[in-house]
A and B are shown apart, each in its own frame.
Chain A
Amino acid sequence: MQQSNGYIITFAIIMTVIVGGLLGAANQVLAPAQKKALELDNKKAILKSVMKLEASSDVEKIYADRIKSFVVDANGNKVAGKVAEDINIRKQSKAKDADRLYPVYKFLSAADKNKTEAYILPLFGNGLWNNIWGYIALKSDFNTVAGIVFDHAGETPGLGARITEEAIQERYKNRLIFDQNGKLISVKMVKGEGHPEAELGEHMVDGMSGATLTANGVNAMLYTYLDYYLPYIKKNRQ
């Protein structure tokens, strides 16, 4: 009896229903906690672009204290009634250029809450294998890079995945995104590793050996998003 086709099919169906139901229920129950964990991770990434975070840091508190966020449209005008944290950059990147919404995170000075230390802008693009994303922080002159963070979904460990390393992200600090005439140049990661600082100048950073294709993705992502934010930057740049 146990080996009959009928028994096997019945067994398989019952098993599928039980397993599926169980996993569905677990997903429903855990979804809110997972969403919260994701949001916290996002806040951490935003803060990491401008400051060092310790394991013991209260991210929520620092974020509430130091970050002021709003949303701008493609022309750089503020959009009322939208929450920056709720904007999904991945989804926005697929929308039409004119309809896209752009979150801006202002990093306020600890001493004077009316002074902005840095403007943090999101980045989203494609690496070699999958999506890459991050945040770039620009000092209040909208030209100097205050810091940058990257993350990735599937770059090669030890090669492209190195964009998540602090040592790589440090290289972007104090680079300039505009030239003297005010033209957007962005910051470019070069091919090959070990270039002396003097050779690189203000608009280039040292590359990652063996990960030029990921670096190309990073360069394209940086330029694209700085270009998207150009109307907003131009309006606010003195």
Chain B
Amino acid sequence: MSEKENNPVTEQNPPLKKESEPLLSKRRKKFISDPLVDDNPITLQVLGICSALAVTSQLEPTFVMAVAVIFVIVFSNLITSLLRNMIPTRIRIITQLAIIATLVILVDQVLRAYFFDVSKLLSVFVGLIITNCIVMGRLEAFAMGNKPWDSVLDGLGSGLGYSWVILAVAFFRELLGSGSLFGFKVWEAIGLGGMPNNGLMVTSVGAFIVLGLIIWVQRSRTGYVEH
């Protein structure tokens, strides 16, 4: 829509050659920046909560989960966008699911082959990326109606928006619950070896609390109100 406003095509002055948009134009940068804060999939749309709660007790599996989700959302957006004019409308949801499921199974198989310990920790939650509403939502709402490059950027934006939130949750949960970051004992390193661990942070209750606080801080800053 904004494309038309920027390049008004008038009868008197028909453009001979349509100027191509820069790869990272202002409009396209918004695809990445919007989901980071203003339209964050977790804190504003409150999607993908299940995995955000389940895998965030330590940073390492959370990081792998974030990479997996970014990979799946970017490539499923790209593939869906490339196929968008071929996919029959009546079976579009099944087609989207097949694309996501294929990518997720690939990720799962690779993890099992090369990162066995992490895949044991993530267990079923890698498979559950298939049902992650963030991925499905982007395919249906964006990739079905937009060009491939735009879709890749949109997927990257949503993936990063998801990632920073779960990493932030995991940071506090691992620090307060286990006293470490990426398995590195932080309190002992700075000479506070006696720092007690908060058992609540290791359970999913801790994730609810941290996530709630992050959403609170963010919404009080952006002024977003639920209607």
Contact = CB atoms under 8 A, between A and B. Distances in A.
B93 interface: no
Contacts of B106: 22-23, 26
Contact of A55 (B94, B112, B114, B183): B183
Interface string A18-40: 01001100110010011001101
B112 A7 contact: no
Interface stretch (B11-19, B69-77, B81-89, B212-220): B81-89
Given A3-B89, A3-B90, A8-B91, A34 B105 contact: no
A12 interface: yes
Nearest to A11: B88
Contacts of B89: 2-3
Nearest to A33: B113
A192 interface: no
Contacts of A210: none
A200 interface: no
A33 B114 contact: yes
Nearest to A41: B116
Interface in B67-124: 86-91, 94-95, 98, 102, 105-106, 109-110, 112-114, 116-117, 120
Contacts of B112: 30, 34, 37
Contacts of A12: 91, 94
A116 to B, nearest CB: 29
Interface of B: 86-91, 94-95, 98, 102, 105-106, 109-110, 112-114, 116-117, 120, 183, 203
Which DSSP category, helix, strand, loop or mixed, fits chain A's interface?
Answer: helix
A37 B114 contact: yes
Interface of A: 2-3, 7-8, 11-12, 15-16, 19, 22-23, 26-27, 30, 33-34, 37-38, 40-41, 55, 158
Contacts of B91: 8, 11-12
13 contacts: A2-B89, A8-B88, A11-B88, A12-B91, A15-B95, A22-B102, A26-B105, A30-B113, A34-B109, A37-B114, A41-B116, A41-B117, A158-B203
Contacts of A158: 203
Given A12-B91, A23-B106, A158-B203, 18 more contacts: A2-B86, A2-B88, A2-B89, A3-B90, A8-B88, A11-B87, A11-B91, A12-B94, A16-B98, A22-B102, A23-B105, A26-B105, A30-B112, A34-B112, A37-B112, A37-B113, A38-B116, A55-B183
Contacts of A23: 102, 105-106
Contacts of B86: 2, 11
A8 B90 contact: yes
Contacts of B120: 41
A102 to B, nearest CB: 26
Contacts of A7: 88
A26 B109 contact: yes
